[in-house]
Amino acid sequence: MKGAAFLVACLVLAPALVFAQDRSVSIEAPLQTALGDPIDVLLTVTAKASDEAAVPEQSFEPFEIIERHVRVEPSPDANTKTFTFELRLLCFEAGTHEVGPFRVRITSEAGELIELESETRAIEVQSLLANEPDPQLKPPTEPVTVEQDDYRLLVALGALLTLALGALLAVLLMRWWQRRDQPEPAPPPPPPPWETAFAELRALEERRANAIEEGRTEQWVDAVSDSVRKYLGHRFGFHGLESTTDEIAQELNAAESLPIAPEEAVAFLGQCDLVKFAKASLADEASRALIDDALAMVQKTRPMAATQPGGQS
């Protein structure tokens, strides 16, 4: 009986063990560097062929990231692929510092988010003056005679010319002011962000079927996501198009009088990110539900004063 139970447990856990072994992260970093010199760190992430990997924003004090690049190489058997993140760091504190662990975020084909952490590496940052027992500044040099041109006359003439031009300009401006026509009316103020969002989303709703039929689902979902991000940014006072989904979640949590739960907006944007970054498929019904959710979100979050009887603004 115990043997049968052990066999069943092995059969259940075996896929999970293989699944976990498909993903790993390793780090390569120099052992020492000079103060102020760039430090090249390589993060090698091995994942399944359908996975997508990224290094999210994180702090590595006292190190600072100044550049980052990524290369993706599939394995010969096409079962896995390797992401190589090339990170260039700087450190302005002498001594031995540990860099890492680096957090790596993996998105599976099913939309599951998996986080891995690399090991840490000790890097000795050497000062350029470390081998100098008593560093001193260079002695002062002998004074040098500097001849300076006298431009006082030119400055005076320039001032007089400026005054003359100013007087002439004042006369011309006065004559123009006396003969001027009535000023044109000021241009109308820009429409509120919810009206702009409604117009963009309804236009995308009309192009939905053609986009899916022509294989432009990712571009269409990206446009829907950008329209909602731009609306949320204008509505609640932040840069929606330049913010990540996590940053938008923080802004919505801090927003006053938010009519919906921040998780509702974050879940919608996360669904769009899955299609955009994880290449998730989107059926016809799912795309229709996506645009309906976007329109409903704008409807729920616009000011109550903008809603008139009958649901029209």
> How would you write the pLDDT of the chain (313 residues) with one tens digit per residue?
445 444 444 444 444 444 445 789 999 999 989 888 999 999 999 999 889 999 998 888 899 998 999 999 998 998 899 999 999 999 988 889 998 899 999 999 888 999 999 999 999 998 877 666 666 777 888 888 888 888 888 899 999 999 999 999 999 988 888 877 666 777 888 889 899 989 999 998 898 888 888 888 888 888 988 999 998 888 888 888 888 888 888 888 888 878 888 898 888 888 888 887 766 667 778 888 889 988 999 998 888 765 544 444 4
| Cis amide bond preceding 192, omega within 30 | no
Q: Which residues of 59-92 are buried (b: 16+ CB within 10 A; e: fewer)?
A: ebeebeeeeeeeeeeeeeeeebbebebebebbbe
3-state SS assignment for residue 41: strand
Q: Which domain holds residue 227?
A: 193-306
Q: Which of 71, 91, 126 is the last residue of a domain?
A: 126
Query: Is residue 153, in this structure, part of any structural domain at all?
Result: no
Query: Is residue 122, in this structure, part of any structural domain at all?
Result: yes
Beta carbons of 298 and 230 less than 8 angstroms apart: no
Query: Is residue 72, in this structure, part of any structural domain at all?
Result: yes
Q: Which of 67, 98, 126 is the last residue of a domain?
A: 126
Are residue 116 and residue 199 in the same domain, yes or no?
A: no
Query: Is residue 296, in this structure, part of any structural domain at all?
Result: yes
Backbone torsions φ then ψ of 125, nearest 5 degrees: -100, 110
Pairing of strands 63-74, 113-117: unpaired
Are residue 293 and residue 202 in the same domain, yes or no?
A: yes
Beta carbons of 220 and 236 less than 8 angstroms apart: no
Query: Is residue 135, in this structure, part of any structural domain at all?
Result: no
- CATH value at residue 41: 2.60.40.680
Are residue 122 and residue 198 in the same domain, yes or no?
A: no
| Cis amide bond preceding 133, omega within 30 | no
Query: Is residue 185, in this structure, part of any structural domain at all?
Result: no
Domain total for the chain?
2
Are residue 197 and residue 300 in the same domain, yes or no?
A: yes
Are residue 109 and residue 203 in the same domain, yes or no?
A: no
Query: Could you say which DSSP state residue 201 is in?
Result: H
pLDDT at residue 131, as a whole number:
62
Query: Tokens representing 217?
Result: 């689902």
Q: Which of 126, 156, 171 is the last residue of a domain?
A: 126
Beta carbons of 58 and 65 less than 8 angstroms apart: no
Query: Is residue 147, in this structure, part of any structural domain at all?
Result: no
Is 145 exposed, middle or buried (CB count within 10 Å of its CB: 0-12, 13-18, 19+)? exposed
Are residue 296 and residue 216 in the same domain, yes or no?
A: yes
Are residue 197 and residue 110 in the same domain, yes or no?
A: no
Directed axis angle between helix 262-277 and helix 284-301, to 10°?
150
Give the end-to-end CA distance of the chain in Å, rounded to a whole number.
70
pLDDT at residue 52, as a whole number:
92
Query: Is residue 68, in this structure, part of any structural domain at all?
Result: yes
Which residues is 192 bridged to in the sheet? none
Query: Tokens representing 184?
Result: 């044109």
Q: How far apart are CA 150 and CA 168, in angstroms?
A: 29
